[in-house]
Structure 1
């Protein structure tokens, strides 16, 4: 064992010792940085310890549940179309956008963007490997996308049958989400992933359900109002457009989804997990 390896081990031991010393704060007082980080690492490791089938089913459930946001988006768009300008409709839609997120997060289903930074922290803390992270991400993404695509099929069928929205509404939303240049979608998705990672951190900092609902609503409304690209909701939006409109091709869907997934992952892993963790580490040195 060389000196450099020994130095890294000593540094890791100091970090772990500092995290272990982060005791729960008193009721009514805000949680410390170390307390939140410790909780996030523990929560992340618990996800790693789950069986693959459990992770897949939980992420599939999240993909299905997030579809209720899409149901409200389409219904509201159709309801307001012709009554107000279209650009106003897309802004108003941001106020119903959070509903699916509230269902998913409070229901403890595994949503890729909300879990990105959470699952990265155990890797940064040397408790899990990069390979295990990529494997876990793959399972979560697969479940989220399959669930979302299934909901897209349901929405495309049930909307016109109930008369709450039509194919034109589905098409308009899909085009609105996907018509940007690749570079724009990438940067937008990074910002969205950043916000979702921050959402996970803020939820860990909160103490009660009402606070968590308020945080989820605030963050996801900002995301939607700014038009940032979320890979899992966007999956439902663009896939629904692909199966119902000639304006969205298979390549449009694949390009959008791959770029938004990469952007969301970078936003959560780098701008939340890495920065929050390194801020703690530098305080230990």
Structure 2
């Protein structure tokens, strides 16, 4: 009779009459080479979310502030690539790769990034829907978003007033930020929804990535940069650089970028990816 390991039917040779006879060591190697089951991924991400929901407010704020500051390096690296390689055929590709710098640091350093929590912190609520859990989720989202935006704003302000910034880099920073402001609210929302979906996908895949973790982060976040998809934290740094340069107002930042981007990131990460992933696991457990 077949047994189950990690939520997957185990047809391991020796336990099924149709299998091939293997030694205990060979059978163990078969188990090690099997991909992580969706149930294991779900539980890993859910437990991570439970841990984040229980963290003190001060710890969340400081970690979120650090993440917001760090995400500024995605903006800076992208602009540097545009400034130095924008005239080459590979310029756009290099700029996309540069965009991954901030994400790489934030994720590996385990700093609090709002778009990660649109998946991790939502799964506990979907698993056990309670008003108390909803309150903890909203508390987490509010604290992390505040810290991220303050950090992004500080980075953008500091970079704008940094002496010695090359003219080409300054112009690239302005061009990137103005592009986001020039989009319609629906365009921003649509692009933000895709970005939220991609970040949630990344968070879901990381537990099973093992040695490919860095490559996975670079590939997925570079795709966000290459596609011009809107991310509430890195995008805020880009648009606020324009604001601090006098090219836009805070009202334009809030109404034309921040609000539609925030809504899109939440819809893509929570209402689409998290809901579908959770429904998949519930469907498996019902059989």
Q: Quote the Cα distance in structure 2 between the aligned partners of 1:236 and 1:185.
A: 15
Aligned residues: 258
CA-CA distance at 1:224 after TM superposition: 1.2
What corresponds to 2:177 in structure 1? 174
What corresponds to 2:145 in structure 1? 141
Give structure 2 stretches of 5+ with no counterpart: 1-5, 9-29
What corresponds to 1:154 in structure 2? 158
Partner deviation per Cα, 1:192-251 (whole Å, 9 max, x = no partner) = 10000000001022223xx111110111111111111111100100001111032x2222
* Structure with max Cα Rg: 2
Q: Find the partner of 1:106 among 102, 108, 113.
A: 108
Q: CA RMSD in A?
A: 2.2
What corresponds to 1:47 in structure 2? 52
For residue 129 of structure 1, give the secondary structure of its aligned residue in structure 2.
helix
What corresponds to 1:224 in structure 2? 225
Judged with a 3 Å threshold, the aligned counterparts in structure 2 of structure 1 residues 251 and 90 are, in CA distance, closer, same or farther, namely farther
Q: Quote the Cα distance in structure 1 between the aligned partners of 2:113 and 2:120.
A: 11
TM-score by length of 1: 0.84
Give structure 1 stretches of 5+ with no counterpart: 1-20
Following superposition of structure 1 onto structure 2, how do residues 192-271 of structure 1 map, counting pairs within 5 Å? 192-208=195-211, 211-246=212-247, 248-255=248-255, 256-271=257-272
CA-CA distance at 1:44 after TM superposition: 0.5
1:73 corresponds to 2:74: no
CA-CA distance at 1:168 after TM superposition: 2.6
CA-CA distance at 1:68 after TM superposition: 1.1
Q: Quote the Cα distance in structure 1 between the aligned partners of 2:169 and 2:227.
A: 25
Contact 2:76–2:173, Cα closer than 8 Å, also in 1: no
Contact 2:180–2:188, Cα closer than 8 Å, also in 1: no
CA-CA distance at 1:166 after TM superposition: 4.9
